[in-house]
Amino acid sequence: MNRHVPPHVAAAEAREADGLGCTDVTPIKQRGQHEVFCGLTSIIWLHRKVQDAFFLIVGSRTCAHLMQSAAGVMIFAEPRFGTAIIDDRDLSGMADMNEELDKVVARLIARRPDIRMLVLVGSCPSEVIKLDLGRAAMKLNERFAPDLRVLSYSGSGIETTFTQGEDNFLQAVIGGTPRAAPDAPRQLLIAGCLADVIEDQFTRIFHGLGIENVHFLPARHAEGVPPIGPNTTVLMAQPYLTETAKMLEKKGARVLTAPFPLGEEGTTAWLRAAADAFDVPADRFAAITDAGRERARKAVSLYRDRLAGKRVFFFPDSQMEPSLARFLSREVDAEILEVGTPYLNKNHMAPDLALLPSSVRLAEGQDVDKQIDRVRADDPDLIICGMGLGNPFEAEGRTTKWSIEFAFTPIQGYEQAGDLAELFARPLGRRDLLQVEV
């Protein structure tokens, strides 16, 4: 293959020799308006993933409205989430909020007897008024165990952005799991929500590698999380699980760091981290992954022409931005201008950052107006941004992609590498296709 190597890629490859990449780049940190979802929004995929769970937000009309606006606007007849809306009577003390919550829960359980896990989700209002959902969950647990397990966590916007909601949820899930016996057999725990189809693909690969004991967090059912202890090796499938990883470590688990499984390179490095931890011989690793690698490379190559040399700007959204940028930079030779992320975990991100060119501007947190100024100064070919910003940029004649699509689309693993490239390529292709102007 005749690989076109733009200067910045060459530079990055040179730096790779000492393994630094943009590890040392100091991120821009500006305090201004954050234009990101709050942690409640991760319920949109969590409630689909955990099939016997119901997520009950205890919040305001704003929280309910956010959920319906972000959740693809009123598609589901009756999703497994809802909002207990705090009103005046609750706040003025005319109604006892805990009693009110009990009533809502009783109604809900009567309506949905199939629910095995009820998750109380805290919001900004519930936190500001210091409503103790942990205690509420405990009391409900006493009442409904063992038919129903009740958990709580915070998805509030004053504590969490978007994907951090999942981080908090997973801590709640594993908080109560028993410690594995010292002689328990070794197990691999994949942490972070993945599409079912991707879980199945990875399971086949791990089995092929001889790693039989594989679990996913979150599991598809309330009862699916195994005891965790020193027998547990954790491979992070998502980059936003800072606190979950800490908790797993506290339980004695070993957490691996690797590039995240996006693209051929990322997926291979990610799988290899597990293979190395489980002492899988190199020839076996090759035998199991070579075909997938080849397919992924081929699928991605279909979009390389469209993406190579394109200058890309990432707004902060899901914390997946550094990994997505690494994929674009390394596998389709795009040029990365800015990688915004709501929070940069330098540990978990180290392997990805090391593969990014040092020319990349990192930005942690946000001042959206200043970031928009930078976009206008940079004039990128492609902007990855939130849903509130997309059309205004398009109206300026810029090409955009909704960042939320990367959280909502199966993109991890070999078989999805082409889909991932296609997501980036589509808006560019569309611009080429259209003979209309604003």
Partner 1 sequence: MQLTVWTYEGPPHVGAMRVATGMKGLHYVLHAPQGDTYADLLFTMIERRKARPPVTYTTFQARDLGSDTAEIFKTACKEAVERFDPQAIIVGASCTAELIQDDPGGLAKTLDLNVPVIPLELPSYQKKENWGASETFFQLVRGLAGGRTPEEKPEGAPKTCNILGPTALGFRHRDDVTEITRLLGTLGVEVNVVAPMGATPHDLTRLPNADFNVVLYPEVAGQAAQWLKRTFGQPIVSTVPMGVNATRQFVREVAELVGADPEPVIAQADERLSWYSLSIDSNYLTGKRVFIFGDATHAIAAARIAEHELGFKVCGLGTYSREFAREVRAAAKEYGIEALITDDHLEVEDAIVAAQPELVLGTQMERHIAKRLRIGCAVISAPVHVQDFPARYSPFMGFEGANVIFDSFVHPLVMGLEEHLLGMFREDFEFNDDAQASHLAALHAGAKHETIEIPEAQTAPDDKTQDVVANGSVAASFGSPSWTDDAELELKKIPFFVRGKARRNTERFAAEQGVNPITIETLYDAKAHYGR
Using CB under 8 A, list all residues that contact partner 1.
32-41, 51, 56, 58, 60-66, 68-70, 72-88, 90-91, 95, 97, 100-101, 103-104, 107-108, 124-125, 127-129, 156-159, 161, 369, 386-392, 395, 438
Which two three-digit tokens encode residue 95?
């109604």
| Residue placing its CB nearer to ligand SF4 in the complex, 19 or 32 | 32
Quote the least distance from Cβ 91 to partner 1, whole Å: 6
Annotated ligand binding at 38? The verdict is: yes
63 binds ligand SF4 (CB under 6 A): yes
- Judged by CB, which is closer to partner 1: 51, or 301? 51
Nearest Cα to Cα of residue 289 among 376, 227, 207: 207
Q: What minimum distance in Å lies between the beta carbon of 122 and ligand SF4?
A: 8
In whole angstroms, give the CA distance from residue 371 to residue 313.
10
Q: For the chain, state the CA radius of gyration.
A: 22
Selected from 152, 156, 168, 341, the binder of ligand SF4 by CB under 6 A is 156
Based on CB atoms, which residue is closest to ligand SF4, 63 or 105? 63
Residue 107: CB atoms within 10 A of its CB come to: 11
Q: Does 359 bind ligand SF4 (CB under 6 A)?
A: no
Nearer to partner 1, 70 or 428 (CB): 70
Does the annotation place 385 within a ligand binding site? Answer: no
Nearer to ligand SF4, 55 or 260 (CB): 55
Consult the annotation and say whether 63 binds a ligand. Answer: yes
342 binds ligand SF4 (CB under 6 A): no
* Contact partners, residue 110, CB within 8 Å, separation at least 6: none
Cα separation, 92 vs 96, in Å, equals: 9
| Residue 286 C-beta: closest distance to partner 1, Å | 37
Smallest distance, partner 1 to C-beta of residue 191, A: 24
Q: CA 332 to CA 137: how far, in whole Å? A: 48
124 forms part of the interface with ligand SF4 (CB under 6 A)? yes
List the end-to-end C-alpha distance of the chain, in Å, as a whole number: 39
Which residues in the 18-57 window bind ligand SF4 by CB under 6 A? 38, 40
Specify the stretch interacting with ligand SF4 by CB under 6 A; choose among 61-69, 128-136, 171-179, 256-264: 61-69
Q: Which two tokens stand for residue 242?
A: 């800072």
Kind of pairing between the strands at 28-31 and 382-385 = unpaired
Closest approach, Cβ 32 to partner 1, in A, equals 8
Tell me phi and psi for residue 6, to 5 degrees.
-65, 160
Residue 129 or residue 138: which is nearer to ligand SF4 going by CB? Answer: 129
> How far, CA to CA in Å, does 351 sit from each of 166, 280, 318, 354, 358?
22, 21, 18, 5, 14
Contacting residue, 30, 51, 62, 98, with ligand SF4 by CB under 6 A: 62
Residue 107: contacted member of partner 1, ligand SF4, none (CB under 5 to 8 Å, by partner type): partner 1
* Separation CA 310–CA 320 (nearest Å): 20
Provide the 10 A C-beta neighbour count for residue 13: 14
Mapped onto helix, strand or coil, the DSSP state of residue 12 is: helix
Helix (H, G, I), strand (E, B) or coil at 78: coil
Query: Residue 216, exposed/middle/buried by CB under 10 A (0-12, 13-18, 19+)?
Result: buried
* Collapsed DSSP state (helix, strand, coil) of residue 428: helix
Task: Tell me phi and psi for residue 34, to 5 degrees.
Answer: -90, 130
Give me the least distance between CB of 62 and partner 1, in Å please: 5
Which amino acid, 289? T
Contact flag: residue 66 with ligand SF4 (CB under 6 A): yes
Task: Tell me how far apart the alpha carbons of residues 263 and 218 are, in angstroms, rounded to a whole number.
Answer: 23
Which chain residues interact with ligand SF4 by CB under 6 A? 38, 40, 59-60, 62-63, 66, 123-125, 156-157
